[in-house]
Amino acid sequence: MAIKQLQAKCLCGGIRIDADFETVDIGACHCDTCRRWSGGPFLAIAGAENVVLAGTDLLTVYKSSEWGERGFCKACGTALFWRSQDGEHYALSATTLNDLGDARLTSEIFIDSKPDWYEFANETQKMTGAEFFAMMAPTQEEPNG
């Protein structure tokens, strides 16, 4: 599969992120932390590689758990990414990425934390928080990222 190079930027344009992806499938996280941070389910493309950040003077990184952290723009507040604290795993906000082409919403995690008042129409792979952590084990054991 060909590597797709994508670029993300915040609302004010002060931060730019360049990254490579093998796939551009979008996943939704319904955990309490993501919903509070992003104002709804966090829609992201995981597996970002060769991540290059520009405008880091505007970047704020918040340690949201023992293993994860979230990046956002301190000027405009745009939620940009979730990453593992070791920097090995990045999930970039799908709403900040340019030119997603034929991207599809394919998965949802923390489905057991999703409020009843919304539902996506298309079929996706769904995982509870426990199922997600079991898949990620043994590296992560926090209830929310």
CATH of residue 92's domain is 2.170.150.70
Whether 143 maps to a domain, the answer reads no
CA distance 106 to 128: 15
The confidence score (pLDDT) of residue 139 equals 54
- What pLDDT shows up at residue 141? 47
State residue 101's pLDDT score: 82
9: in domain: yes
Residues comprising the chain, all counted: 145
Please report which helix (H) or strand (E) contains residue 131, including its range. Answer: helix 129-136
pLDDT band at 145 (very low <50, low <70, confident <90, very high): low
Give pLDDT tens digits for 79-114. 999 999 998 999 999 999 998 888 999 999 999 999
**Does the residue 141 lie in any domain?**
no
| Residue at 97 is within a domain | yes
The answer as to whether 142 is a domain residue is no
Structure tokens at 31: 């955990």
Domain span including residue 51 = 4-136
Lookup: tokens for 52: 């290059």
Interval 4-57: pLDDT, tens: 999 999 999 999 999 999 999 999 999 999 999 999 999 999 999 999 999 999
* pLDDT at residue 32, as a whole number: 96
Q: What is the pLDDT of residue 123?
A: 96
* Chain centroid offset of residue 12 CA: 19
In a domain, 106, yes or no: yes
Q: How many other CB atoms are there within 10 angstroms of residue 107's CB atom?
A: 17
Q: Which two structure tokens, joined as six digits, stand for 59?
A: 């970047």
What lies within 8 Å, CB to CB, of 85 at 6+ separation is 63, 66, 67, 68, 69
**Position with higher pLDDT, 59 vs 135:** 59
Q: Does residue 49 lie within any of the structural domains?
A: yes
The tally of domains found in the chain comes to: 1
pLDDT above 60: residue 129: yes
pTM to 2 decimals?
0.88
